[in-house]
Amino acid sequence: MRKVLPLLVLLAAFPLLAAKQLAIYFIDVEGGQCTLIIGPGGDSLLVDTGWPGQQGRDADRIVKTAKKAGLKRIDHVLITHFHTDHVGGITQLAERFPVANYIIHGKNTETGKGPDNLQESFDRAAAKATTTIVKPGDKVKLKGLDIEIVAARGELIAQPLPGAGQPNPLCADAPRKDADPSENARSVGFVLTYGQFRFADLGDLTWNKETDLACPANKIGKLDLLLSTHHGSNQSNPTALVHALAPRVVVMNNGAKKGGDASSWKIFKSSPGLEDLWQLHFAVAGAQEANVEDPYIANLQSPGGGNILLTVEPSGQFRLLNFRNKFEKVYKPR
């Protein structure tokens, strides 16, 4: 379904989320990650803070989105892992907008000047709030939502989520890659459930860890919406996981020249039951062969700044809106 609304109508409606509605803003930070979740009770969870520098570009985009959504503070900021494109913007965000609590997997597991600077930046920002360290099986408390941590600091949930655990026939031929010692493999990943609607964000979790979530049995179960892991990188997003999750929709948080690899794009597009793939950016390397059609791309050029908004009704019906071209599509409950 395609529905184009006048710009003034969209701008007027944008801050006023319906009661009991879940809203997820996929904020463009040029190939980093930044996802703002506002639960049906009004609680907020920001996943990652984008890049540093650029005169506070990413922090400004977060604050603009938060204010238009009616927030006066962010209740939780979850840092999936300590890499610059995920935690680099934390200092500038903390200077611009109140944060009540930070969620992490623990201290940075990488060492050296760069990682140490990232840890110090986080520590300075977190000094003004509380910090929660999570492990697999823990819950993030947002009213009306079930958010379970499925990966953290290299560990994964031991038991399948409710309704999951089916044997995965894709595991028999599932390839493995070299072990990843970096923070990527330590990413905090979670599954969010709102009624019948299910969404997963696995940060930058890499190939082997994702395969272990899906093999020999699928510990997560099927999804309505998947945020591409690692910006759609070919170091993540194995077929054994993506096709087992069978998401109805994938949102790829790529940049123009970061992520959005053609091989991952093809895995998403061939996933059973996929209805649509949406992208935050046109992937330059993918050319026309590995990019979706114009309506489903939030930014055709870089720098961008266009977001994608997901809203979910209690019935399980959900809607995606592209801020650039005002294209929206409704997905009926299954």
Residue spans per domain, the chain: 21-329
Instruction: For residue 225, give the amino acid letter.
Output: L
Residue 19 binned pLDDT confidence (cut-offs 50, 70, 90): low
Asked whether the predicted pLDDT for residue 205 surpasses 50, the reply is yes
Across the range 187-208, mean pLDDT stands at 98
pLDDT at 31 over 50: yes
18 band by pLDDT with thresholds 50, 70 and 90: low
CATH number belonging to domain 21-329: 3.60.15.10
pLDDT at 334: 85
Are residues 280 and 254 in contact, defined by beta-carbon separation less than 8 angstroms?
A: yes
d(CA 204, CA 186): 8
Q: Which of 253, 226, 265, 259 is nearest to 307 (CA)?
A: 253
139-152 pLDDT, tens digit each: 999 999 999 999 99
Taking the C-alpha atoms of residue 300 and residue 293, their distance in angstroms, rounded to an integer, is: 11
What average pLDDT does this structure show over 217-235?
A: 98
47 membership: H or E segment, kind and range: strand 44-47
- pLDDT at residue 17, rounded to an integer: 55
What is the pLDDT confidence band of residue 2, given thresholds at 50, 70 and 90? very low
pLDDT at 10 over 50: no
Q: Which residue has the higher pLDDT, 4 or 333?
A: 333
Question: Is 119's pLDDT higher than 80?
Answer: yes
SS (H, E, C) 264-293: HHHHHHCCCCCCEEEECCCCHHHCCCCCCC
| pTM, two decimal places | 0.93
Q: 93 — phi, psi (to 5°)? A: -65, -45
Between CA 332 and CA 334 the distance in angstroms is: 6
pLDDT at 55: 94
Span 323-327, mean pLDDT? Answer: 97
Overall average pLDDT of the 237-260 stretch: 98
pLDDT for residue 177 is more than 70:
yes
Per-residue pLDDT averaged across 179-183, rounded? Answer: 97
CA angle 20, 334, 21 (to 5 degrees): 10
